[in-house]
Amino acid sequence: MSEKYPLNVPTPTHFTYVVKDLPKVTVEEREKALKATHYNEFAFPSGLLTIDMLSDSGTTAMTNTQWASLFLGDEAYGRNTGYYVLLDTFRDIFERGGEKNWKKTLDLVRTDCRDVEKMMNEVYLCEYEGGLFNGGAAQMERPNSFIIQQGRAAESVLMEIVKNILTERHPGKVFTIPSNGHFDTTEGNIKQMGSIPRNLYNKKLLYEIPEGGKYDKNPFKGNMDLEKLEELINGVGVQNVPLIFMCITNNTVCGQPVSMANIREVNKIAHKYNIPLIFDVARWAENSYFIKMNEEGYEDKSIAEIASEMFSYCDGFCMSAKKDGHANMGGMLAFRDKGLFWQKFSDFNEDGSMKMDVGVRLKVKQISCYGNDSYGGMSGHDIMALAVGLYESCDFNYMDSRVKQVEYLAQGFFKAGVKGVVLPAGGHAVYINMDEFFDGKRGHDTFAGQGFSLELIRRYGIRVAELGDFSMEYDLKTPEQQAELANVVRFAIDRSRLSQEHLDYVIAAVKALYEDRESIPNMRILWGKNLPMRHFHAFLEPYKNEEK
- What pLDDT digit, counting tens, does each position of 418-462 carry? 999 999 999 999 999 999 999 999 999 999 999 999 999 999 999
Predicted confidence at residue 78, as pLDDT, reads: 92
Average pLDDT over residues 517-529: 97
Q: What percent of the chain has pLDDT over 70?
A: 98
Predicted confidence at residue 100, as pLDDT, reads: 67
Q: What percent of the chain has pLDDT over 90?
A: 82
Q: Are 76 and 376 in contact (CB under 8 A)?
A: no
Q: Are 182 and 404 in contact (CB under 8 A)?
A: no
Q: Is the predicted pLDDT of residue 17 greater than 90, yes or no?
A: no
End-to-end CA distance of the chain: 59
Q: Is the predicted pLDDT of residue 255 greater than 60, yes or no?
A: yes
Name the pTM for this structure: 0.95
Interhelix angle 226-236/260-272, rounded to 10 degrees, is 20
pLDDT bracket for residue 152 (50, 70, 90): confident
Predicted confidence at residue 545, as pLDDT, reads: 61
3-state secondary structure 467-503: CCCCCCCHHHCCHHHHHCCCCEEEEECCCCCCCHHHH
Burial class, 410, CB count within 10 angstroms (exposed 0-12 / middle 13-18 / buried 19+): buried
Q: Is the predicted pLDDT of residue 335 greater than 80, yes or no?
A: yes
Q: Is the predicted pLDDT of residue 325 greater than 70, yes or no?
A: no
Question: HSE of 142 in the Cβ direction (CA atoms, 13 Å)?
Answer: 20
More confident residue, 406 or 150: 406
> Cα separation of 410 and 338, whole Å?
44
pLDDT bracket for residue 43 (50, 70, 90): very high
CA angle 266, 269, 274 (to 5 degrees): 120
> Cis peptide leading into 249, omega within 30 of 0?
yes
Average pLDDT over residues 157-169: 93
DSSP 121: I
Q: Could you tell me the CA-to-CA distances from 338 to 141, 147, 400 in Å, in that order?
A: 12, 19, 37
pLDDT bracket for residue 12 (50, 70, 90): confident
pLDDT in tens, 185-225: 888 888 888 899 999 999 999 999 988 999 999 999 999 99
DSSP string, 57-113: SS-SPPPHHHHHHGGG----SSS-HHHHHHHHHHHHHHTSTTSSSTTHHHHHHHTT-
pLDDT in tens, 286-297: 999 999 999 999
Question: HSE of 5 in the Cβ direction (CA atoms, 13 Å)?
Answer: 1
Q: Is the predicted pLDDT of residue 3 greater than 80, yes or no?
A: no
At residue 397, what is the residue type?
A: N
pLDDT bracket for residue 6 (50, 70, 90): confident
Predicted confidence at residue 1, as pLDDT, reads: 52
Q: Is the predicted pLDDT of residue 150 greater than 90, yes or no?
A: no
More confident residue, 5 or 1: 5
More confident residue, 495 or 46: 46
Q: What is the mean pLDDT of the chain?
A: 93
pLDDT in tens, 85-137: 999 999 999 999 986 678 999 999 999 999 999 999 999 999 999 999 999 99
Predicted confidence at residue 208, as pLDDT, reads: 96
Predicted confidence at residue 7, as pLDDT, reads: 85
> Cα separation of 468 and 450, whole Å?
8
Q: Helix count (H) and strand count (E) of the chain?
A: 21, 16
CA angle 14, 257, 133 (to 5 degrees): 80
Grouping H, G, I as helix, E, B as strand and the rest as coil, residue 250 is strand
Q: Is the predicted pLDDT of residue 548 greater than 60, yes or no?
A: no
pLDDT bracket for residue 324 (50, 70, 90): confident
> Cα separation of 189 and 393, whole Å?
28
At residue 528, what is the residue type?
A: G
Predicted confidence at residue 167, as pLDDT, reads: 94
Q: Is the predicted pLDDT of residue 547 greater than 70, yes or no?
A: no
